[in-house]
Amino acid sequence: MAKKVRLGRTDLTVTPIGLGTNAVGGHNLFPNLNDETGREVVRTALEQGINFLDTAYIYGPERSEQLIGEVIKERGGRQDIVIATKGAHKFVDGQVVMDNSPAFLTESVEGSLKRLQTDYIDLFYIHFPDADTPKDEAVGALQKLKEAGKIRAIGVSNFSIDQLREANKNGYVDVVQDEYNLIKRGKELDILPYAKENGISFIPYFPLASGLLGGKYALDATFTDGRARNPLFQGEAFAANLEKVDQLRGIASEKGAEVAHVVLAWYLTRDTIDALIPGAKRPEQVANNLRTLSVELTPDEVERIDRIFRA
């Protein structure tokens, strides 16, 4: 396992490849998940040296946090495991709404602590903004929890640049998580420069663009899940993206790696991106994700990949 890195200006040190756990107990997100397989995914990650686990209340809901808590308990404690979780979702009359109010965020942290069977959370994100709560007030509530020792760092996820600026009014935001990949690069226009300027770490989700950047699809591929409605997987856009992915195969071959490893390694060369959290449904996928760390890209290769996906 590679040397640990620090997340932004926090005192959290994590492995550059972590584990996203939306498929661990995320029965509302993926069909036919098995809880014991989910536990084994987490066990395997920890055994392989990964110390950074990313979860959320809404994965399940609640079940992902519960399974992680069970694995940590069976191991006899936290040791150096860094846990990130998220809150904001609330069920009202069977419907999901977002709530960033200080009272609800405080309640969310307490609930996560119980499910994770721990007395502190390393990184707690506001998962999505709501429509009403001033963002600096929401983050201010998390700052109080940080001062009380309930959380160690504060994150926001899926915030616009204006919402991020408001949230960071007092300089309390440590980490931003948002969608970003070689195909969807809009965050380079605002969020990433702001994060760099303010010492905030950025953690991308969907880094492989729902598998499109994994190098495993051909032009005749068909999809029956949400990708069937995703414009990236349709018509000329799909063909153009596959052509770009094909240009990475030579680099991957030279490295003895898969296209996905090259893509993930490229993100780790970016300013403010300290760590990645690829997911896994099966234990063997955890080990495969770690192969990213054996890929060393030259400056010329980094620039070439950048040019391919800017075209």
Conformational region of residue 166, where left means phi above 0, alpha means psi within -120 to 50, and beta covers everything else: alpha
| Spatial contact of 211 and 188, defined as CB atoms under 8 Å apart | no
Question: Binning pLDDT at 50, 70 and 90, where does residue 1 land?
Answer: low
Q: Which of 59, 180, 205, 267 is catalytic?
A: 59
User: Is residue 234 one of the residues assigned to a domain?
Assistant: no
pLDDT of residue 199: 97
Partners of 157 in beta bridges: 177
User: Is residue 138 one of the residues assigned to a domain?
Assistant: yes
Which range of residues forms the domain containing residue 274? 5-214+258-296
User: Is residue 39 one of the residues assigned to a domain?
Assistant: yes
pLDDT of residue 224: 83
Question: Binning pLDDT at 50, 70 and 90, where does residue 266 land?
Answer: very high
CATH number at residue 148: 3.20.20.100
Q: Is 273 helix (H, G, I), strand (E, B) or coil?
A: coil
Tell me: the pLDDT tens digits for 11-33?
999 999 999 999 999 999 999 99
Cα 137 from Cα 167, distance rounded (Å): 8
pLDDT of residue 131: 97
Cα 218 from Cα 221, distance rounded (Å): 5
Long-range contacts of range 88-97, CB-CB < 8 Å, 24 or more positions apart?
88/126, 88/127, 88/128, 88/129, 88/130, 89/57, 89/58, 89/61, 89/127, 89/128, 91/61, 96/58, 97/130
Cα 208 from Cα 192, distance rounded (Å): 18
User: Is residue 134 one of the residues assigned to a domain?
Assistant: yes
The mean of the pLDDT values for the chain is: 96
Tell me: the pLDDT tens digits for 172-220?
999 999 999 999 999 999 999 999 999 999 999 999 999 999 999 999 9
Q: Is 185 helix (H, G, I), strand (E, B) or coil?
A: coil
Cα 108 from Cα 105, distance rounded (Å): 5
Does 136 have pLDDT greater than 70? Answer: yes
Q: Of all residues in the chain, what percent carry a pLDDT higher than 90?
A: 95
Number of independent structural domains in the chain: 1
pLDDT of residue 311: 74
What does the pLDDT average to over 276-304? Answer: 97
User: Is residue 129 one of the residues assigned to a domain?
Assistant: yes
Catalytic residue list contains 120: no
User: Is residue 104 one of the residues assigned to a domain?
Assistant: yes
